Each structure stands twice: as C-alpha cells, then as structure tokens.
Structure 1
Amino acid sequence: MEDLIIQIVLQGLLLQYPAWRIYKRAGLNPTLSLTVLIPGVGMLIAGLILAVSKWQVSLGGN
C-alpha cells in the first residue's frame, strides 16, 4: 500500500511542472495544474479543463 502511495505522489509531481507550463502558456491560471495531483482522475480533469477552456495564446515570440 505504501508503494502505491509513493508511486502516485511521484507521478503527480513529475506531471506537475509540465502541466503548470501548459496552463501558463495557454493563458489560464497555472494553479489549475494542481488537479494532476488528484489520484486516479487528476490527468483526466486537467485534460478536460484544457480541452473546454478558451486559450489566450499570442502567436509571436515566447
């Protein structure tokens, strides 16, 4: 059981940084990326938020 919890936490933390960057570049609040830390359905929720949100992306530069 402890191994499963450690694995879930590590996967969440490894996915946290890229999700933070994606939300930031999409013009959304990056704290929404904390949804990836929800065990089991976190990535699904994060993906749904990105899929249905209006992205405010600039086409030039960074």
Structure 2
Amino acid sequence: MLDAGTTDADEVIEELGHEPNGYFWDSIAQLLVDAEAPYLAGRFRLRPGGRHVRRPRIRPASAR
C-alpha cells in the first residue's frame, strides 16, 4: 500500500498544482501502464482511496 501524502515527491506534486492523494497515484500508475507496459492493461485495477492506493486486484488469465 502506498500512503499518499507521505512520499518524497509530494512537495513537487503540490507545487505543480496537484494533490498527491490516492487518486493522483492511481492515475500515474495507469499512465505508466498505458505508456510503458500496455500488455498489463486490464490485468489489474488499483483501489485508490483518499490517502491510500491499495494493492492491485489481479485478474487471472481465465477471467480475461
């Protein structure tokens, strides 16, 4: 679990006008999958909360 609001990058994120919460980090994870690992698209879904990003739910190959 990532405890949003406690990372070393928070100050920079806030300076850029964003709130470093779980929804922000969920978006970053999705951006990375789309740009760097498209083969992972649809295989997991992060569960963001206000302050946390919880472990992904991984879909087994048989459910895809």
Fold similarity call, TM over 0.5 = no
- The structure in which a higher percent of residues are strand is 2
Q: State TM-score, norm by structure 1.
A: 0.34
Q: Which has the higher helix share?
A: 1
Q: Which of 1 and 2 has higher RCO (CA within 8 Å, sep 6+)? A: 2
